[in-house]
Amino acid sequence: MAAVLRHLTVLCALCLSNRSSAQFLDVSTRQTNSSSVSSIPERSWQTWGPYRPNLYFGVRPQVPETLLMGLMWASGDSQKQMLSSFRDTCEQNDGMQGYGWTFYDTRTGGSQALHDKQLQLDLTTDFLKSEDGGSWSVGITGTPQQDAPNVRTSVILHVAVEKADSNGPKSLACESHSESESKGGPLAACRGEIAALGGRFEFQVLGNAKNNVVHDAAVKSLNVSEDKIWQAKSVFADQVKASSGDKIAVENSPGAGNMHFIQLTFQGPFKMTFVYHAADGSILDQNSVDAGINSLRSSFPARVEAVFPRTPPFQQENYAKLSQEILSNLLGGLGFFHGDTKVDYSNSSKYQEIDLDFWTQAASAMSRAPITTTAPQTLLSHTPSRPFFPRGFLWDEGFHLLPVVEWDLDLAVSVLQSWLDLMDDDGWIGREQILGPEARSRVPSQFQVQYPHYANPPTLSLLVPIIISKLAGASPYTGHPSIYMSSPDQASTMLKTIYPLLARHYHWFRRTQSDNFTSAYPRPASGIPYVGFRWRGRTPKHTLTSGLDDYPRANPPHPGELHVDALAWVGASASALQQVALYLGEAVDAEVYAKDVTAVKRNLDALHWDAARKAYCDSTIQDDKYTLVCHEGYISLFPLLLGLMDADHPNLPAVLDMISDPEKLWSPHGLRSLSKQDANYGRDENYWRGAVWINLNVLAVLRLRDVGLSLVGLSTVRARVLMIASELRKRLVGTVAESWEHTGFFWEQYADGTGEGKGSRAFTGWTAAVILLMGLQLGQGMGGEGDDSGASNGVFWAVVGVVGLMLATLVVSTALRRRAMVVVAGAVNSWITWQTTWKGGGGYREVIDLDERAV
């Protein structure tokens, strides 16, 4: 239920108003700037892939309106059983015990395992593609589960041609061959032509001599309307129902059409291969797929290890597996989307949100506003979760790309460019990309509309400085060979393309989420005017646009309020732009952005620092006075999280106190989203009100590390910061790992009390950012950076460090000491614990408990 909140565009309590009164216009007269910045070359390694992550297995090219392929399976016992057990789209509760990629690389392919408990079958899909983009194949293997050696399974491959009547000639025709006549040859073969795919192509379905076949391959070729193209399950179910008697196989009627089903039914184990190739492409037959997958299986672990090395205490094999799986599923969640979208372009004056009851006025204006259906747009994006959020979210993508850029810089750039391509002339990017009817089918209609005055955290600015630092050689890159890393010209061309777009989005954000710095509202005298921001789209209980949905803010909302996280995001964006400008030699621009960063830093303190509470807080207007509204939690950390607090910042110790206080943010499983002491902790929807979210926790560890390492010498602050980072890192990785071992899934969030996965499962979006923590060297920080942690060496430095820290803490204030000791106690124990095996004896829990007791 909580998860649904992610796509509440306007909170429903207010928008229950009936949309039927709204007019739906046809195609927008206002289109986004269509000058494309994407540079996907025709036919490359990127062309084909399992870019339909909403399906258990579905392939399409990154070319709109061409070909869609998918895999379905069902019980082959009876027609009735079949009709009630089709697996096609990923679902939350369909009896699947777990599924996902065991290894997967966007460049070559990989292997997915699916455990279908209800149908007593384990499936693997081995996907492999050629580097030139001309061919790909998928091997599908079914293995009955233990108690059901003779289980009957029907496998249905579906292929469809999109928009068969537009963009040049498109055709596809299939034929079937009975087992006896095929003699090891294809059981079905289809030939087609699509100009955008380079012309003619062919694919075949191959069986295996060992298969125990229940019936010959049945090929059903159809012409369906465009709105059925992506609804394979229901189209096929209709065909099954239409067949006479209680047959499980559809009528074999191959031919020409825009949608084709190839059905095979097996008893017991089976193996089959789907082979696609362009007329001029090579053929990846079953042997090539097996060889390719085997070679990938053996090389993948070492590659992951090289890019995401692991340091103590995460050196055991289970962490290697976790790294491989979480990365594979982040990459395997990459989707290619194309279609129109719903936008409210009315720009009602109520959307300025100026009056005291602005949210009711806005909701009322929205209920009357005409909704525009835009021209089709295209997006290449990773997805938060295949079953629940199989589409692009701006707030998530910046976090997705943090591991991706390490693994494959060029892929990260392609995705970044695709997102920037969505920007309109004003600089707006819709925060949730629900493109086309297939994506819309998963979102209730009242939440589909996007609003051009709504912002979202500009998380892509997290990525840009990392790209710059790699291009400049300031940080290492060990991922796939990159055209940008190897060619400075390509790199600057790319940066010159994205720079104006990033700038446009930045200025749009400043303009549309601006504070009202007129004399209407009082502001602290020390604040710089016009450097304060307010998320539009607030309601009393929600600020969905901030990404932190139900995180408590001023209540009631006020048109004069200011949001600390919005200001921090402006600072992060300005800093990213400054770095691009410097790289491109735009000195004047760089200076302007540097000034913006300085101003943001100053106003974080001038407008948002509550000296009494010792916390960064939102503000509102109460009794005509500027009043800080403090709900300690993630928003209080944004100045730190977004790199806007230096090591010598006078407020840093207080921020560290809040982080490390078990009564506030410090939990056994990571930093709580909301302080345990806040009145709203754990209340109502309880989405961002206590649970541990991995994305912001990972940022916390990385920033603490940066702050710690920026301090030279054995200072107490350095020791403390690195100790917190080190302990937090262990808890986060441990929490994700433990839950994954128990449930087989990665989760959207984790309970701060128990570490239990919560929200949407199979959430391999930003939860995957945890992989960045595996190799951090923090515990040994006091012994000097270069420390290569051979175990004994690590323990030695650990002990030196802990002793040093204990001595150091004797000289600091009482409050600080109490907290530091808690951390020290935990750390000593973990250093002992990491010597024992991860599963043996539950040492991890003991460490956690010790901390809780120390309170």
Q: Closest CB to ligand NAG among 50 and 254?
A: 254
In the structure, how many helices (H) and strands (E) does the chain have? 22, 29
Of 335, 403, 452, 690, the one binding ligand NAG (CB under 6 A) is 452
Q: For the CB of residue 220, give the shortest distance to ligand NAG in the complex, in Å.
A: 9
Burial of 818 (0-12, 13-18, 19+ CB in 10 A): middle
Contacting range for ligand NAG; rule: CB under 6 A; set: 251-259, 604-612, 720-728, 790-798: 251-259
Contacting range for ligand NAG; rule: CB under 6 A; set: 51-59, 255-263, 459-467, 810-818: 255-263
Q: For the CB of residue 372, give the shortest distance to ligand NAG in the complex, in Å.
A: 13
Considering only CA atoms, which of 193, 158, 166, 189 is closest in space to residue 176?
189
Per CB under 6 A, contacts with ligand NAG among 389-428 are 425-426
Residue 643: helix, strand or coil by DSSP?
A: coil
The Cα angle at residue 592 between residues 590 and 598, in degrees rounded to 5: 100
Residue 679 tokens read as 């009145």
Contact between residue 284 and residue 131 where contact means Cβ atoms under 8 Å apart:
no
Amino acid at 675: S
Q: Closest CB to ligand NAG among 426 and 756?
A: 426
Considering only CA atoms, which of 290, 295, 354 is closest in space to residue 126?
290
Q: Closest CB to ligand NAG among 149 and 255?
A: 255
Contacting range for ligand NAG; rule: CB under 6 A; set: 85-93, 373-381, 516-524, 766-774: 516-524
Q: Closest CB to ligand NAG among 96 and 449?
A: 449
841 binds ligand NAG (CB under 6 A): no
256 binds ligand NAG (CB under 6 A): yes
For tokens 């009043």, what's the residue? 627
35 binds ligand NAG (CB under 6 A): yes
For tokens 């789907």, what's the residue? 274
Q: For the CB of residue 584, give the shortest distance to ligand NAG in the complex, in Å.
A: 15
Burial of 44 (0-12, 13-18, 19+ CB in 10 A): middle
803 binds ligand NAG (CB under 6 A): no
Contact between residue 824 and residue 805 where contact means Cβ atoms under 8 Å apart:
yes
Per CB under 6 A, contacts with ligand NAG among 354-383 are 354
Q: Closest CB to ligand NAG among 137 and 450?
A: 450
Q: Catalytic annotation on 438? A: no
33 binds ligand NAG (CB under 6 A): yes
Q: How many residues bind ligand NAG (CB under 6 A)?
A: 17
Contacting range for ligand NAG; rule: CB under 6 A; set: 253-261, 706-714, 778-786, 789-797: 253-261
663 binds ligand NAG (CB under 6 A): no
Q: For the CB of residue 233, give the shortest distance to ligand NAG in the complex, in Å.
A: 19
Contact between residue 216 and residue 188 where contact means Cβ atoms under 8 Å apart:
no
31 binds ligand NAG (CB under 6 A): no
* Measured distance CA(561)–CA(553) in Å, rounded: 10
Q: Closest CB to ligand NAG among 516 and 667?
A: 516
Residue 79 tokens read as 């027609």
238 binds ligand NAG (CB under 6 A): no
Q: Closest CB to ligand NAG among 255 and 481?
A: 255
520 binds ligand NAG (CB under 6 A): yes
DSSP class of residue 633 equals: B
379 bridge partner residues? 337
Of 84, 212, 223, 813, the one binding ligand NAG (CB under 6 A) is 223
Q: For the CB of residue 344, give the shortest distance to ligand NAG in the complex, in Å.
A: 11
Q: For the CB of residue 161, give the shortest distance to ligand NAG in the complex, in Å.
A: 10
For tokens 């974080």, what's the residue? 604
518 binds ligand NAG (CB under 6 A): yes
Phi/psi of residue 706, nearest 5 degrees: -60, -45
Q: For the CB of residue 349, give the shortest distance to ligand NAG in the complex, in Å.
A: 7
516 binds ligand NAG (CB under 6 A): yes
Considering only CA atoms, which of 366, 341, 686 is closest in space to residue 536?
366
Q: Closest CB to ligand NAG among 251 and 741?
A: 251
- How many other C-beta atoms are found inside a 10 Å radius of the C-beta of residue 817? 16
Contacting range for ligand NAG; rule: CB under 6 A; set: 512-520, 586-594, 681-689, 743-751: 512-520
Contacting range for ligand NAG; rule: CB under 6 A; set: 175-183, 220-228, 575-583, 605-613: 220-228
Catalytic residue among 596, 748, 752, 851: 748
Sign of CA dihedral 191, 192, 193, 198: negative
Q: Catalytic annotation on 202? A: no
Contacting range for ligand NAG; rule: CB under 6 A; set: 250-258, 525-533, 536-544, 702-710: 250-258
Q: For the CB of residue 219, give the shortest distance to ligand NAG in the complex, in Å.
A: 11
Sign of CA dihedral 369, 371, 372, 377: positive
Catalytic residue among 340, 515, 549, 605: 549
347 binds ligand NAG (CB under 6 A): yes
- How many other C-beta atoms are found inside a 10 Å radius of the C-beta of residue 292? 20
627 binds ligand NAG (CB under 6 A): no
Cβ neighbors of 831 (< 8 A, separation 6 or more) are 779, 795, 798, 799, 802
225 binds ligand NAG (CB under 6 A): no
Of 72, 189, 222, 771, the one binding ligand NAG (CB under 6 A) is 222
* Measured distance CA(259)–CA(744) in Å, rounded: 35
Q: Closest CB to ligand NAG among 238 and 285?
A: 238
- How many other C-beta atoms are found inside a 10 Å radius of the C-beta of residue 821? 14
Q: Where do runs of H (alpha helix) occur along 457-487? A: 460-471, 483-486
Amino acid at 72: M
Q: For the CB of residue 404, give the shortest distance to ligand NAG in the complex, in Å.
A: 24
Residue 402 tokens read as 């943090």
500 binds ligand NAG (CB under 6 A): yes
251 binds ligand NAG (CB under 6 A): no
Q: Closest CB to ligand NAG among 425 and 741?
A: 425
493 binds ligand NAG (CB under 6 A): no
240 binds ligand NAG (CB under 6 A): no
Residue 757 tokens read as 């996965």
E strand or H helix at 236 = helix 232-242
The Cα angle at residue 65 between residues 59 and 67, in degrees rounded to 5: 35
Residue 13 tokens read as 């309590």
Q: Closest CB to ligand NAG among 71 and 423?
A: 423
254 binds ligand NAG (CB under 6 A): no
Contacting range for ligand NAG; rule: CB under 6 A; set: 142-150, 294-302, 404-412, 515-523: 515-523
Residue 372 CA to its chain's centroid (Å): 28
The Cα angle at residue 361 between residues 357 and 364, in degrees rounded to 5: 145
Angle formed by the axes of helices 286-307 and 317-332, to 10°?
110
* Measured distance CA(651)–CA(644) in Å, rounded: 12
Residue 87: helix, strand or coil by DSSP?
A: strand
Amino acid at 66: T
Contacting range for ligand NAG; rule: CB under 6 A; set: 217-225, 477-485, 682-690, 802-810: 217-225
Instruction: Provide the annotated active-site residues.
Output: 549, 748
Binding site for ligand NAG (CB under 6 A): 33, 35, 221-223, 255-257, 347, 354, 425-426, 452, 500, 516, 518, 520
